[in-house]
Amino acid sequence: MTFKVFVDGQEGTTGLRIHDYLAQRTDIEVLRIDADKRKDSAERARLLNAADVAFLCLPDAASKEAASLVDNPNTCLIDASTAHRTAPGWAFGLPELCAGQRAAIRAAKRIANPGCHASAFILALRPLVDAGLVPAGLPVSATSITGYSGGGKSMIAQYEAGGDPALASPRPYALGLAHKHLPEMMAHTGLQRTPTFMPIVAAFHKGLAVSVPLHFSQLAAGTTGVQLHAALAERYAGERFIRVMPLGEPENLSAGFLDVQGCNDTNRVDLFVFANAEQAIVVARLDNLGKGASGAAVQSMNVHLGVDEGLGL
């Protein structure tokens, strides 16, 4: 069977990468809009309603406008923006989130693709909250270091142009403590307090690692690094795109350093627990353009269509 797919916002970073994935497929017919009609609402509406699956790779306001153009009940929208990630009626596009999530994505005609930082944070924390090891009321903090491709075309051009000394060192941002991923990070982990989150962009193209520090004195009595690791391993047993890396293995680090780019060009998430007798750091690593964006969107499409979940990935 051939499925018709339209990417609204096909010229953006996420849209271009989705097209790369789709180009490998023989079961997909890609609907394309002429360059001079990209802002023509009537033409966009025609293609959106002609598609079995339409990806919205647009800013939030434009994604909401695109969704309003769809009146075909058979068109499934997968929105890569922030607009619908906690909205009623939209399934969260993270199949590994919990039991029943794949069924929700399969049944949904409205799917919100997770943010890159949020995917890593949620996959690291949700099993620990569900297991009762991390209290839902704990004031959690997290740091994410990411490549500049997550900033879109303008940031990519800025870094690749070179010549700006300010870009040579890592740059913390969102220091107003209102990052756009926070609502989904809270909603889909079960945390009752907004995490304190600091993302950092650095001078490499792609790759992302979110680190969550935990002190055992603040967790369930008797919690150890072994228990944290076991909870993650149990939750993700059999998941093809998630690896819980062995606890305490020297191979997890390269000369003592974590390789933030170690999942690049994959749809994989690697989870690590680093711990001593009093503290732990849980780390989730992914490709911010793969499992953190376009790969996740295609994975959700595969789940929704009932085909092999890893097809094209």
Chain-centre distance for alpha carbon 8: 19
What is the edge-to-edge ordering of all strands in the sheet holding 196-202? 171-172, 196-202, 141-147, 208-215, 279-286, 269-275, 242-244
Does residue 116 carry a catalytic annotation?
Answer: yes
Q: CA nearest 212: which of 151, 280, 300, 269?
A: 280
> Catalytic pick from 57, 76, 116, 263?
116
Report residue 212: phi and psi, to 5°. -120, 110
Which of 270, 135, 264, 259 lies closest to 189, judged by CA? 135
Structure tokens at 158: 């800025």
Q: How far apart are CA 189 and CA 83, in angstroms?
A: 19
Tokens of 27: 């079961």
CA distances from 248 to 226, 258, 281 (A): 10, 13, 12
CA atoms of 213 and 280, how far apart (whole Å): 6
Active-site amino acid positions: 116
